[in-house]
Structures are given as C-alpha cells and as structure tokens.
Amino acid sequence: MTVRSGFSMLILVFALPACGTANKGARPLPGDTGGGGATTLPPIVMGQHGLPVPPGGAVAKPAGTAGNLAVLSWAGFKAAVSWTFDDGQPSHIAHYAELQATGVPMTFYVTTANAGLADFDATWAQAVRDGHEIGNHTVHHCHYDGTSLSGCTSGSLAATTTVEDEIDQCTTHIASNYGQAGVWTMAAPFGDSAYGKPAAARFLANRGAYTGLIAPDGNTDRFNLPCYMAVDNDTAARFGSQTDIARAGGKWLIFLIHTITPTSDNWYAPVDIADVTGGMTYGRSQGDVWMGTVADVAAYWVGQQLLAAAAPTVTGGETTWAWTLPAGFPPGKYLRVKVDGGTLAQAGWPLEWDEHGYYEVALDAGALTLVP
C-alpha cells in the first residue's frame, strides 16, 4: 500500500452503480404524509443514499497516508434502535397514525391470516408508502420445533402445510398487496428459534424474542436476533432507559411491541400508545441514535461484517476489497467508511467525501479500491 501508482483504476469505464440521485427521495420519510397527530421533532434528515445524516459536520477530507480503512458502526451514529410491532394487530392499525406521527421508521411483522381484519391490507400498504418496513410473521403464527407446526394462533392450518409454506405464503401476500419491492426480514412466531433455519434460506435476518443487544462485531446470529420485548403496561421511561443502555454501549436495540392501548383488542402485553410514542420520541430526541427499520440496520450491520471479513488484494499499489452479498440482502444499500488518506473508488469512480466524516460505499458494487 506504500507503493505509489497512478489512477489506472479510475478510468471512467462504468457508471457507478446505484449512486448519484437515483435513490434520493425514492423512499418517503415517515412523518412526511401527515398521518395525524403532531410531532415536536423535525423530520429525520436523510443522506443521498438512504441513510440518515449523523450529527457533526465540517470534517476535512483525510489527507494522510492511504490506509486504515474503517467502517463507521451504525452509519456514524452512537447506536441503532429499531421499533417492531408483531402480528398485524388491530391495535396497531387503530393507532397507526400516532405511530407514524413520531417520524420513526418502523418494522411491522404481519401475520397474514389476520388479513381479514378491518383496514389490515390498507394500513400496511400505507405503511410501505410512508417508508416503513413490512416483515414476515408467517401466515398462521404457529409454534415450530424444527419438525412440525403446532399451536397456531391465527386462522386454521391445513394438515399439509409446511413451515416453508407458512413463510412463503406470507411473503407472497406482502409482495402482492403492499407494494414493497421485497421482503427482507422476518420475526419468528413466539420467538421459536427453529424458524432460523428456513429464515436463513430466504431473508437477511430473523428476529427472535429473547432479551439482548447486538454489537457491531457480528457475533450475534442474524437469524435469531434478540430484542427488548415490552411487558404489560411498560412505560416510556423504561423504553428510554433501554435506549440509554444501547447508546452507552454502542449497540443495536430492537424493541418488540404487541398490543397498544387503548383498544378493545387486547391480544398480549398491552402498552399505552403514549408510552410507545414517548419511547420512540425519546430515541429520536437523542440525535445520535440511528432510528431505523430492521432491514435497514441489519443490511448495514451485515455489510460491515462483509467488508471487515474481506481479505484485501494489492495490485500496483492499489488495495481492493471484494465481497458477495448473501441471499436476501436488499438492493441499494451503503456503508460509511473512512481512511487516513488516498482515494477510494468503486467501478472506476472516486467516491465523494462527506463532510460528516465518511465516504459512502455501495454494497451492490461488490468491491472497493483504495488508490494512494
């Protein structure tokens, strides 16, 4: 890397994939559509490649020796927090406008045997238009032990139905009815860990239901992600203290909410809407916590591991890292990286320095080169 060379890799042969303005504004921001209720916080400011802009700025482009490639954990924020809502419950539908008014991108794990509920499909289609993620929570919400399905809570399961059917028919319903380009994550019904295996063949990640936080280094099984599951009458203060713990430790925290009150449909672990939105607003108000969907944060987290694991090759003084995106990885995702100096390039194009302290690397490109 100390061998100096020209910019032979920077010949402008190909257009940089998935860069520039193509993605800018492609996804609406939660809160933009005036879903009802007032939010006291301004909309989250998004960068040109779909990641929110972190605090800070006016960081000079590094001018030292080329080297020391490093990925900024959680897109340059101190921590990440995702809010997930399971089952497609009537109380989520009833309180959707208040959730939307927080401006926080959310993940709704829907169980599609509940699609007959009032406003079910219409609400989740609106959620996609509002920039939220709809995730897979299977068709009938059954226990799965790795062999058989049992104890389903929604609809009636045919005897011939397999776990693959349970997952794939839910994905088909989401893809057919909600206008989402793909389905990238699922949540295991009851948190049953055996869902991890079929999830691994289909998705970027699967959320379980056990307690824990996720570190940037990737030791957590992405097909059995931990969470903080709200208990009966949980409070905004407790959600806030969980957020504080994640923020202090530089971790990713996933909240799991079941029933939201007031409601006449109390399914499980009811929490008042003011406590839910209070917890969400608290996270946003920190300013240095990335509030993102599970698909968005997981893509960043997995992408960071891919780049960290890539063995660099050096040719003519230029260092190249290459990676292959795994199955279920969403398109159009980016990583934020920094170096001590030199020029980073993808597909022959030099990357632009962002004064918030990073270059944005297109994961779809599959390779990154550092030119001294």
**Residue numbers of the site for Zn ion (CB under 5 A)?**
86-87
Cα–Cα distance for residue pair 201/310, rounded to 1 Å: 22
Closest to Zn ion by CB, 78 vs 95, is 95
Distance, CA of 107 to CA of 186 (rounded, Å): 10
CB within 8 Å of 13: residues ≥ 6 apart: 347, 348
- With CB atoms as reference, the residue minimizing the distance to Zn ion is 86
Rounded to whole angstroms, the Cα distance separating 104 from 81 reads: 10
Between 50 and 88, name the residue whose CB sits nearer to Zn ion: 88
**How many residues in total does the chain contain?**
372
Amino acid (one-letter) located at 243: T
CB closer to Zn ion out of 86 and 133: 86
Characterize the bridge pairing of strands 271-272 and 289-291: unpaired
**Nearest distance from C-beta of residue 84 to Zn ion, angstroms:** 10
- Per DSSP bridges, beta strands 313-315 and 367-371 are unpaired
Both tokens assigned to 339: 């170096």
Residue 78 or 258 with smaller CB distance to Zn ion: 258
Residue number, 94 or 170, with CB nearest to Zn ion: 170
Nearer to Zn ion, 86 or 121 (CB): 86
CB of 134 to Zn ion, least distance (A): 14
Residue 6, number of CB atoms within 10 A of its CB? 11
In a 10 Å sphere around its CB, with 0-12 CB exposed, 13-18 middle and 19+ buried, how is residue 54 labelled? Answer: buried
- Integer-rounded Cα radius of gyration of the chain: 21
**Which one, 150 or 285, has the nearer CB to Zn ion?**
150
- Both tokens of 17, joined, read 């994939």
Q: Which residue has the tokens 């969403």?
A: 330
Whole-number minimum distance, CB 298 to Zn ion, in Å? 19
Chain centre distance of CA 291:
9
Instruction: Quote the least distance from Cβ 203 to Zn ion, whole Å.
Output: 16
Given a contact cutoff of 8 angstroms between Cβ atoms, the answer to whether 110 and 128 are in contact is no
Residue 341 Cα to chain centre, angstroms: 30
User: Smallest distance, Å, CB 88 to Zn ion?
Assistant: 9
Enter the DSSP assignment of 327.
T
In the complex with Zn ion, the residue whose CB is nearer, 7 or 268, is 268
Least Å distance, CB 49 to Zn ion, is: 33
| Residue with the two structure tokens 């390039």 | 345
Least Cβ distance, residue 247 to Zn ion (angstroms) = 27
Q: Shortest Cβ distance from residue 322 to Zn ion (Å)?
A: 39
